[in-house]
């Protein structure tokens, strides 16, 4: 509730200005017969009050400008923080690609209006890399694989990390054969890349590819691609297998 008493007894911040204005008005109302000294004094007081009022107004304007600037900075900081939190919630911290939850959500949203191909890839014998050379070396291998993906996966497709050494590629509107061809490009790039392992060994990956019509779901597409992936593993690794079809391009390096 508004405190009327407090308002009535609060000091008038412009009391000096009001007094100077009242004195100047009294001189003005008295007419031209007022002594020049009185007019001069009233004018001086009025000028002083006006000058103080200008200074106070400028101070308030500067304070308002600073407050607005600070508010804008705070608003920008909040927007940046919200964007950072959203990024952290949807991206893998090591690789920067989409995390499992985000890639699943994206695939399901695409299925509303598109057919979709899904590629699942798994780095062959990755546990051996971690056990032999340590997790930092394993992380470098993962980053190298992601680098291959970023260079070869075209615009419009999305890469997600769904497990430690397992990734998916979501390809909206792509037929199965075209998705399998892209998987082959990535497979060859990984096989041919020098990862700099201490023993000089090569890294390979196995791939499973599936296709579902519009209205499907990530779970169904993933199950089909995962079955194809394990067919590639059983076939000797370092291969691309399509759901419902035999593995393609078995490699002499499959035992790596």
Q: Per the structure block, which two tokens stand in for 18?
A: 């009001």
pLDDT in tens, the chain (256 residues): 555 455 455 556 667 767 767 777 776 776 666 676 777 777 677 777 777 877 887 888 788 888 888 788 878 888 888 899 899 999 999 999 999 999 999 999 999 999 999 999 999 999 999 999 999 999 999 999 999 999 999 999 999 999 999 999 999 999 999 999 999 999 999 999 999 999 999 999 999 999 999 999 999 999 999 999 999 999 999 999 999 755 555 444 444 3
pLDDT the model gives residue 254: 44
For residues 57-74, one letter each, b for 16 or more C-beta atoms within 10 angstroms of the residue's C-beta and e for the rest, the string is eeeeeeeeeeeeeeeeee
**Residues found in the chain:** 256
Query: Which positions ≥6 away from 143 have C-beta within 8 Å?
Result: 94, 95
Q: Specify the pLDDT at position 11.
A: 57
pLDDT of residue 204: 98
| Coil/strand/helix, residue 236 | coil
Verify whether residue 165 is a known catalytic residue: yes
Helices (H), the chain: 4-9, 15-30, 36-90, 100-111, 126-133, 135-152, 176-192, 218-234
- Cβ proximity of 157 and 170 under 8 Å: yes
**Catalytic site residue from 17, 70, 86, 165:** 165
Instruction: Give the pLDDT of residue 203.
Output: 98
How many Cα neighbours within 13 Å face the side chain of 23?
18
Read off the pTM: 0.71
Q: Is the CA virtual torsion 50, 55, 61, 63 positive or negative?
A: negative
> What's the Cα-to-Cα distance from 32 to each of 19, 202, 237, rounded to whole Å?
21, 106, 110
Predicted confidence at residue 103, as pLDDT, reads 98
Task: Identify the CA nearest to 219 among candidates 123, 120, 99.
Answer: 120
Question: Looking at residue 252, what is its pLDDT?
Answer: 47
Give me the pLDDT at residue 110, please: 97
Beta strands 240-242; 247-248: pairing state: antiparallel
């Amino acid at each position: 509730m508004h405190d009327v008493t407090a308002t009535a007894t609060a000091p008038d911040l412009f009391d000096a200005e009001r007094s100077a204005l009242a004195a100047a008005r009294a001189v003005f109302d008295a007419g031209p017969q007022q002594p020049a000294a009185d007019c001069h004094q009233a004018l001086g007081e009025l000028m002083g009050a006006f000058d103080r009022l200008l200074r106070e107004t400028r101070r308030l304007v500067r304070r308002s400008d600073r407050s607005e600037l600070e508010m804008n900075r705070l608003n920008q900081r909040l927007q940046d923080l919200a964007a950072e939190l959203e990024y952290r919630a949807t991206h893998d911290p090591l690789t920067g690609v989409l995390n499992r939850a985000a890639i699943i959500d994206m695939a399901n949203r695409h299925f509303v209006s598109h057919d979709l191909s899904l590629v699942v890839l798994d780095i062959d014998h990755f546990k051996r890399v971690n056990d032999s050379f340590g997790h930092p070396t394993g992380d470098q291998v993962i980053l190298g694989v992601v680098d291959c993906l970023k260079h070869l996966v075209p615009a419009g497709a999305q890469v997600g990390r769904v497990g430690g050494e397992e990734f998916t590629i979501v390809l909206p509107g792509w037929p199965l054969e075209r998705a399998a061809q892209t998987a082959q490009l990535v497979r060859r790039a990984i096989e041919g890349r020098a990862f700099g392992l201490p023993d000089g060994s090569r890294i390979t990956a196995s791939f499973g590819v599936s296709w579902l019509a519009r209205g499907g779901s990530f779970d169904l597409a993933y199950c089909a691609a995962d079955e194809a992936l394990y067919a590639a593993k059983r076939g000797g690794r370092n291969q691309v297998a399509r759901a419902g079809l035999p593995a393609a391009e078995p490699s002499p390096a499959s035992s790596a």
